[in-house]
């Protein structure tokens, strides 16, 4: 079975290519370092309740030097703005992804 991004690329290749260029442009900005961008992204996706995106980005953040506590707090920070739902969906996913990356 294809991943959601593979389906996106197959069904809308021009849009997927434009999206990839947008991501590349955002990654290359210099206002925040790559580690901070990943931590911010984890918090944003947690606020949206997107546990899949959180779990995919945690190893990236960890690889850039983010600590388990920073990942945990990025998710917890969303509690006051987005409520308990994102935390309950995303905190286990984030910590499991962090710890699983340690075991690899």
Task: Assess whether 20 and 52 both reside in one domain.
Answer: no
User: Are 53 and 78 contained in the same domain?
Assistant: yes
Q: Are 46 and 75 in contact (CB under 8 A)?
A: yes
Containing domain of residue 3, as a range? 1-30
- pTM of the entire predicted model: 0.86
My answer on whether 16 and 39 are in the same domain is no
Same domain, 46 and 17: no
Total of domains in the chain: 2
Summarize the chain as % helix, strand, coil (round to 5): 80, 0, 20
Residues 22, 53 share a domain: no
Query: From first to last of its 104 residues, what are the pLDDT tens digits of the chain?
Result: 888 889 999 999 999 999 999 999 999 999 999 999 999 999 999 999 999 999 999 999 999 999 999 999 999 999 999 999 999 999 999 999 999 966 65
Same domain? 19 vs 42: no
């Amino acid at each position: 079975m294809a991943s959601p991004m593979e389906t996106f690329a197959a069904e809308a290749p021009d849009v997927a290519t434009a999206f990839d260029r947008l991501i590349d442009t955002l990654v290359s900005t210099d206002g925040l370092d790559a580690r901070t961008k990943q931590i911010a992204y984890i918090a944003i996706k947690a606020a949206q309740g997107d546990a899949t995106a959180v779990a995919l980005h945690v190893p990236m953040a960890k690889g850039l030097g983010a600590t388990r506590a920073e990942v945990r707090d990025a998710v917890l920070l969303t509690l006051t703005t987005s409520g308990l739902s994102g935390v309950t969906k995303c905190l286990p996913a984030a910590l499991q992804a962090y710890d699983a990356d340690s075991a690899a």
